[in-house]
Homo-oligomer: A and B are copies of this chain.
Amino acid sequence: MNRDPAWVLTIGDELLRGEIIDSNKSFFSERLLRLDIETTRHVTVGDDPEAMELLLRLSTESARIVLVSGGLGPTRDDLTTEVVARAFGRTLRRDETTLQRMRAYFASVGREMSENNAKQADFPEGAEILPNPLGTAPGFMLELEACLLFCTPGVPSELYRMMDEQIIPRIAARQLEGRAVRATLLRTFGLGESTLDRELEDIARDDHEISLGFRTQFPDNLVRVVVRGDDPNTAERRLRQTVQVIRDRLGLTVVGEGETPLEEIVGRLLLERKHTIGVAESCTGGLIAHLLTELPGSSAYLLEGVICYSNESKIRELGVAAEALEAHGSVSEAVVRQMADGIRRRAGTDFGLATTGIAGPGGATSDKPVGTLWVGLATERGVEARRYQLLRDRSRNKRLSAQIALEWLRRSMLGLELPDETFPRMKGRTG
């Protein structure tokens, strides 16, 4: 039989009631792709032993890899382990090491372990236990005749870690058959997914050992690069070559490699270089400061922020000239320059970053439509300012404006050219 590469199952009534959005399935599938393994089915069932058993049988008969999340908790509703044991004719065995570890955990937080928890130390006979450093429920792997079955808890942080540390290495070890796979993610900002696809399409077309994929994390797009080779060294070398080809083509659009978001990339640069910054926000309404303070230790660089929605506050707090506001309006080059310069002087920082714009839906004029954005950056070398034309949606405009401002900071610190007025070239830009 021609088996599917992988199925992903999630278990829990809360998922079928729509109480939480199930991000575990997309996480599992994205990680499998980095091993060059495609998922062909996602299925969710409730805490219903009959439905679970049927699904476990069907999936393990259909796919070479089955990943299951959920149903390993301590409650009556958590049935995964016992249903797996029944479905595959295994008895349940209590693992003493796991039990002791659980007792020690409860003792360390000063609580008595309830007898319900003890069942989390039960595993189907023959299962390999997968440690869970973040919670009480370990996972397990069962090697069936033509299928590897992995069960993990449903808590995202726990299963993310178990996937990377326990599951991926086990799949990789069995997968190879003399082949190796290496993968990475490139974070891009400034081009839409269809443009990226067009720019890069020949790379995977001309070389069947390379696969490219895309994932959107508004306003960024992530490019996933997967490269196969005869051995790990070859695969790794070819991955580096491919990343270089992509970086050469996309230029400054690539803002980083990996999952680190732009605000963290920028925050780390500020920390490393011991730079300080003040921000003066109008249309972004505090979002730039909020993003810059998500990183622990951000008080070392973000000394001060001002949200000056009113003209009065622009004049009073930032020293913007009333004449400039009158002659050009608050969304103008003159004003954004004075805002950037004003916050830098007032806060006594290396950088002064400013935004003013029309986030929408109100406030537009004939020459300043919704989506108009001015960014200004003051440094010891002077003030730069540029105008951009963004989207129609208020919330997305705020997010996109903040990202453009952060990208100015990144490029400025790295001595790179600032984004020109046609930036960002994204789908939906004209509506």
Name A residues whose Cβ lies closer than 8 Å to a Cβ of B. Answer: 15-23, 25-31, 33, 38-46, 48, 51, 109, 213-216, 279, 281, 284-290, 292-294, 296-299, 302-310, 312-313, 316-317, 346-347, 359-363, 394-395, 398, 431
Q: Which residue from B17, B46, B286, B346 sits with its C-beta under 8 Å from A293?
A: B286
Residues of chain B lying within 8 A (CB to CB) of residue A22? 21-22, 25-26, 42
Q: A33-B18, A306-B304, A313-B347 are in contact. Are A290 and B286 (CB under 8 A)?
A: yes
A313 contacts B309, CB within 8 Å? Answer: no
Q: Which residue from B19, B29, B306, B431 sits with its C-beta under 8 Å from A305?
A: B306
CA distance A309 to B303 in the complex (A): 6
Q: Find the residue from A41, A307, A317, A360 having the highest chain B CB count within 10 A.
A: A307
Q: A17-B29, A39-B17, A213-B19 are in contact. Are A302 and B294 (CB under 8 A)?
A: no
Q: Given A41-B45, A286-B288, A302-B309, 5 more contacts at CB 8 Å?
A: A18-B25, A22-B26, A285-B294, A286-B307, A306-B307
CA distance A313 to B280 in the complex (A): 14
Q: Which residue from B26, B38, B213, B296 sits with its C-beta under 8 Å from A362?
A: B296
**Distance to closest chain B CB from A45 (angstroms):** 6
Residues of chain B lying within 8 A (CB to CB) of residue A284? 290
A306 contacts B309, CB within 8 Å? Answer: no
CA distance A298 to B287 in the complex (A): 14
Number of copies of this chain in the oligomer? Answer: 2
Q: Which residue from B43, B293, B317 sits with its C-beta under 8 Å from A43?
A: B43
A–B Cβ pairs within 8 angstroms, 20 of them: A15-B26, A17-B29, A17-B33, A17-B213, A18-B30, A18-B215, A19-B26, A20-B26, A21-B23, A25-B44, A40-B48, A42-B44, A285-B292, A286-B286, A286-B287, A289-B289, A290-B398, A303-B309, A304-B310, A316-B346
B296 contacts A19, CB within 8 Å? Answer: no
**Distance to closest chain B CB from A383 (angstroms):** 21
Closest residue of B by beta carbon distance from A302 = B309
Residues of chain B lying within 8 A (CB to CB) of residue A15? 26, 42
B304 contacts A307, CB within 8 Å? Answer: yes
B38 contacts A16, CB within 8 Å? Answer: yes
Residues of chain B lying within 8 A (CB to CB) of residue A303? 309-310, 312-313
Residues of chain B lying within 8 A (CB to CB) of residue A29? 16-18
Residues of chain B lying within 8 A (CB to CB) of residue A304? 306-310, 313, 317
Residues of chain B lying within 8 A (CB to CB) of residue A45? 40-41
Residues of chain B lying within 8 A (CB to CB) of residue A27? 18
Closest residue of B by beta carbon distance from A6 = B16
CA distance A221 to B51 in the complex (A): 29
CA distance A48 to B241 in the complex (A): 33
A41 contacts B44, CB within 8 Å? Answer: yes
**Distance to closest chain B CB from A312 (angstroms):** 7
Pairs of residues from A and B, 8 with the lowest C-beta to C-beta distance, nearest first: A285-B293, A286-B289, A18-B30, A305-B307, A286-B286, A18-B26, A18-B29, A42-B44
**Distance to closest chain B CB from A263 (angstroms):** 11
Closest residue of B by beta carbon distance from A26 = B18
**Distance to closest chain B CB from A152 (angstroms):** 16
**Distance to closest chain B CB from A155 (angstroms):** 11
B19 contacts A214, CB within 8 Å? Answer: yes
Closest residue of B by beta carbon distance from A308 = B304
CA distance A15 to B294 in the complex (A): 29
